[in-house]
Structure 1
Amino acid sequence: MFEYLFSEEQLRFRDEVRDFVKSVPRQLILDMDADKIRFPTEFLQEAGRRNLLGCRYPKSLGGRGEDWVSACMVMEEVGTLSYILACVFGVGAELVCDAIVKHGTAEQQEKYVRPLLKGELFAAECLTEPRGGSDFFGATSTAEDRGDYFLLNGQKRFIVGAEGADFFLVYARTDPDAKPHESLTCFLVDRGPGVESVYQYGLMGCRGGGAGRLVFKDVKVPRENVLGRVHGAAAVFDTMMIPERLGTAAMTIGAARPALEIATRYSSRRKAFGRPINQFQGVSFQVAEAAMLLDASRAMAYATARAVDAGIEMGRIRRMVSEAKKFITESCQQAAHHALQVMGGIGYTNVFPLERIHRDLRLASIWTGTNEVMAMIIAHEWYREAAQSEPVRDYESDAVEAGALEEKIYE
Structure 2
Amino acid sequence: MFDFLLNEEEIKARDEAREFVKTIPRQMILDMDADKIKFPKEFLQEAGRRNLLGVRHPKEWGGRGMSWAGSAAVVEEIGTLGYIFSCTFGVGADLVCDAICLHGTDEQKEKYVKPLLAGDIFAAECLTEPRGGSDFFGATTTAVDKGDHFILNGQKRFIVGAEGADYFLVYAKTNPDAKPQESLSCLIVDRGPGVNVEYLYGLMGCRGGGAGRIVFKDVKVPKENVVGKVHGAYPVFTTMMIPERLGTAAMTIGSARPALDVATGYTTRRKAFGQTINNFQGVNFQIAEAAMLLDACRSLVYTTGRSADIAPYAGQTRRMVSETKKFVTESCQKVVHNAMQVMGGIGYTNVFPVERMYRDLRLATIWTGSNEVMSMVIAHEWYKDFFKSKQANIVRDMELDAEEAEAPDEKIYE
Q: How does the TM-score come out when normalised to structure 2?
A: 0.98
1:12 offset after TM fit, Å? 1.8
SS at match of 1:337: helix
1:360 aligns with 2:360: yes
- Give the Cα–Cα distance (whole angstroms) in 1 for the partners of residues 340 and 312 of structure 2: 39
1:387 offset after TM fit, Å? 1.1
Q: Indicate the residue corresponding to 1:9 in structure 2.
A: 9
- Give the Cα–Cα distance (whole angstroms) in 1 for the partners of residues 91 and 211 of structure 2: 12
Q: Indicate the residue corresponding to 1:409 in structure 2.
A: 412
1:179 offset after TM fit, Å? 1.1
SS at match of 1:316: helix
Letter in 1 for 2:113: V
Q: Indicate the residue corresponding to 1:36 in structure 2.
A: 36
Matches within 5 A, 1:45-60: 45-60=45-60
Q: Which runs of 4+ in 1 moved over 3 A?
A: none
Letter in 2 for 1:409: I
Q: Indicate the residue corresponding to 2:307 in structure 1.
A: 307
Gaps of 5+ in 2: none
- Give the Cα–Cα distance (whole angstroms) in 2 for the partners of residues 233 and 180 of structure 1: 10
- Give the Cα–Cα distance (whole angstroms) in 1 for the partners of residues 12 and 225 of structure 2: 38
Q: Indicate the residue corresponding to 2:258 in structure 1.
A: 258
Matches within 5 A, 1:384-399: 384-389=384-389, 390-399=393-402
- Give the Cα–Cα distance (whole angstroms) in 2 for the partners of residues 315 and 88 of structure 1: 29
Deviations 1:111-139 (A, max 9, x none): 00100100001000000000000101100
SS at match of 2:157: strand
Q: Do the aligned residues in 1 keep the contact of 2:200 with 2:210 (CA within 8 Å)?
A: no
1:9 offset after TM fit, Å? 2.6
- Give the Cα–Cα distance (whole angstroms) in 2 for the partners of residues 123 and 26 of structure 1: 25
Deviations 1:340-371 (A, max 9, x none): 00110100000000000000000000000000
Matches within 5 A, 1:9-408: 9-311=9-311, 314-389=314-389, 390-408=393-411
Gaps of 5+ in 1: none
Letter in 2 for 1:216: F
1:175 offset after TM fit, Å? 1.1
SS at match of 2:213: strand
- For the aligned residues, what is the CA RMSD? 0.9
- Give the Cα–Cα distance (whole angstroms) in 1 for the partners of residues 136 and 308 of structure 2: 23
Q: How does the TM-score come out when normalised to structure 1?
A: 0.99
What is the aligned length?
411
Structure 1, 63-72 or 85-94: larger mean CA deviation: 63-72
- Give the Cα–Cα distance (whole angstroms) in 1 for the partners of residues 309 and 235 of structure 2: 19
Deviations 1:95-119 (A, max 9, x none): 0000000000111111001001000
Letter in 1 for 2:98: D
Q: Do the aligned residues in 2 keep the contact of 1:55 with 1:64 (CA within 8 Å)?
A: yes
Q: Go from structure 1 to structure 2 and tell me whether the alpha carbon gap of 1:327 and 1:102 turns closer, same or farther (over 3 Å shift).
A: same
Structure 1, 159-168 or 53-62: larger mean CA deviation: 53-62
1:252 offset after TM fit, Å? 0.3
Structure 1, 197-206 or 98-107: larger mean CA deviation: 197-206
SS at match of 2:143: strand
- Give the Cα–Cα distance (whole angstroms) in 1 for the partners of residues 409 and 159 of structure 2: 57
Aligned-residue identity in percent: 72
Q: Do the aligned residues in 2 keep the contact of 1:199 with 1:210 (CA within 8 Å)?
A: no
- Give the Cα–Cα distance (whole angstroms) in 1 for the partners of residues 62 and 312 of structure 2: 27
Letter in 2 for 1:406: D
Letter in 2 for 1:80: T
- Give the Cα–Cα distance (whole angstroms) in 1 for the partners of residues 53 and 188 of structure 2: 20
- Give the Cα–Cα distance (whole angstroms) in 2 for the partners of residues 65 and 191 of structure 1: 29
Letter in 2 for 1:23: T
SS at match of 2:200: coil
- Give the Cα–Cα distance (whole angstroms) in 1 for the partners of residues 305 and 177 of structure 2: 38
1:410 offset after TM fit, Å? 2.6
Structure 1, 233-242 or 13-22: larger mean CA deviation: 13-22
Letter in 2 for 1:387: F
Q: Do the aligned residues in 2 keep the contact of 1:145 with 1:151 (CA within 8 Å)?
A: yes
Q: Do the aligned residues in 1 keep the contact of 2:97 with 2:113 (CA within 8 Å)?
A: yes
SS at match of 1:111: helix
